């Protein structure tokens, strides 16, 4: 079972929930930038939530499915079609062998996730199938996918896939024996609250160790001004342009741990929010940290997009995160029961 990459889009990579446990040797987490969208896409095709899927950035790839497949697309709003048929998002969709799926322009957000039942089954590197593009680490030598790649897909019992067209309760959009046949589930997830459709929700920050070292105007500006996501932003970090932030006095710092979400302040005054491919250590002042629960929201802002920050307490950031995890787990369980029920009709 495999998927052939006909064209890679702007930046498409294999991502799971990341590679932890190796920070001591300088290996960072990587993984999906919007891990909530990844986990829901996996749930919709019956995968474990940490299965590897494709993370699609800004413009999508063209893919050919060599066998029948069950897919789901979540995250950013992207044009998706098989032949002339639009493929709906946030639901399981069955594709017949030979289907060519084209993900085109992204209408909202920056990163879409395409999960395939069985998961992208490249050999894990240091416990993860994620590409760490900046570190050139991971399957495919840590690179993004390119035209001609054959991505292996994990085994799904053929009889299970064959039963799905009826089981999904969806209408075949064409005769299932025809090429490009697709069957979309009648039901779908509401992207809310998992995706910030308008892209204007504020991003919560908890103060970092060096927040107090900012001058008074910069402390105010961080929460009162709107920042622009710089053009050179990527999976390593988002450069935030707007008010220049200044320290009261220079700090002499030695390298210490940093994590995705850490807001560093380099000398030029533009803070950098470290993202999935954050290095493991950094020596710039850490003025704040993005609340983990809001990292997916920030990851969906594209270069040129706007960001407003609000201040939150550590306790609030954690309780929002824990509440989201509970809600997500309940939803994943609901999806699982629905898929299970349907495949046994």
Binding residues for other proteins, per CB under 8 A? 20-27, 125-126, 135-137, 206, 208-209, 254-259, 261-262, 279-282, 286, 289-292, 314-315, 317-318, 321-322, 325
If the CB atoms of residues 178 and 256 are measured against other proteins, the closer one turns out to be 256
Task: Supply the minimum distance, in Å, between the C-beta of residue 204 and other proteins.
Answer: 9
Q: Cα–chain-centroid distance for residue 257?
A: 23
Nearer to other proteins, 224 or 257 (CB): 257
Nearer residue to other proteins within complex by CB, 25 or 345: 25
Give the shortest CB-320-to-other proteins separation in angstroms. 9
Cβ proximity to other proteins: between 73 and 312 the closer is: 312
CB of 281 to other proteins, least distance (A): 3
User: What 3 state SS string does the chain have?
Assistant: CEEEEEECCCEEEEECCCCCCCHHHCCCCCCCCCHHHHHHHHHHCCCCCCCCEEEEECECCEEEECCCEEEEEEEEEEEEEECCEECCCCCCEEECCCCEEEEEEEEEEEEEEEEECCCECCCCECCECCCECCCCECHHHHCCCCCCCEEEECCCCHHHHHHHHHHCCCCECCCCCCCCCEEECCCCCCCCCCCCCCCCCCEEEEECCCHHHECHHHHHHHHHCEEEECCCCCCCEEEEECCCCCECCCCCCCCEECCCCEEECCCCCCCEEECCCCCCEECCCEEEEECHHHHHHHHCCCCCCEEEEEECCHHHHHHHHHHHHHHHHHHHHHHHHHHHHHCCC
For other proteins, the closer of residues 292 and 342 by Cβ is: 292
In whole angstroms, how close is the CB of 42 to other proteins at the nearest point?
A: 18
90/284 with CB nearer other proteins: 284
Of the two residues 136 and 231, which places its CB atom closer to other proteins in the complex?
136
Least gap, CB of 248 to other proteins (angstroms): 18
C-beta of 249: minimal distance to other proteins in Å?
Answer: 15
Q: How far is the CB of 317 from other proteins (least distance, A)?
A: 4
């Amino acid at each position: 079972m495999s998927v052939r990459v006909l064209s890679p889009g702007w930046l498409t990579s294999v991502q799971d929930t990341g590679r932890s446990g190796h920070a001591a040797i300088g290996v960072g987490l990587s993984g999906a930038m919007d891990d909530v969208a990844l986990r829901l896409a996996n749930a919709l095709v019956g995968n474990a939530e940490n299965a590897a899927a494709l993370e699609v950035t800004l413009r999508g790839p063209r893919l050919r499915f060599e066998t029948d497949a069950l897919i789901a697309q979540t995250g950013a709003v992207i044009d998706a079609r098989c032949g002339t048929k639009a493929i709906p998002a946030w639901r399981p969709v069955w594709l017949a062998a030979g289907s060519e799926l084209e993900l085109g322009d992204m209408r909202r957000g920056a990163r879409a996730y395409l999960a395939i039942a069985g998961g992208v089954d490249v050999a894990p590197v240091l416990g993860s199938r994620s590409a760490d593009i900046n570190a050139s680490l991971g399957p495919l030598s840590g690179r993004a996918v390119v035209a001609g790649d054959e991505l292996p897909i994990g085994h799904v019992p053929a009889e299970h896939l064959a039963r799905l067209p009826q089981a999904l309760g969806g209408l075949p959009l064409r005769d299932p024996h025809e090429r490009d046949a697709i069957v979309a589930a009648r039901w779908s997830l509401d992207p809310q609250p998992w995706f910030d459709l308008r892209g204007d929700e504020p991003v919560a920050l908890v103060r970092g160790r060096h927040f107090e070292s900012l001058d008074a105007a910069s402390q105010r500006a961080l929460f009162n001004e709107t920042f622009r996501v710089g053009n050179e932003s990527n999976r390593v970090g988002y450069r935030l342009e707007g008010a220049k932030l200044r320290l009261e006095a220079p700090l002499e710092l030695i390298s210490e741990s940093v994590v995705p979400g850490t807001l560093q302040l380099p000398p030029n005054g533009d803070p950098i929010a470290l993202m999935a491919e954050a290095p493991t250590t950094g020596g710039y002042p850490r003025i704040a940290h993005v609340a983990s629960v809001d990292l997916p929201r920030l990851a969906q802002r594209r270069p040129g997009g706007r960001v407003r920050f609000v201040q939150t307490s550590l306790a609030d950031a954690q309780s929002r995160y824990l509440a989201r995890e509970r809600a997500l787990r309940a939803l994943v369980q609901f999806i699982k029961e629905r898929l299970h029920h349907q495949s046994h009709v």
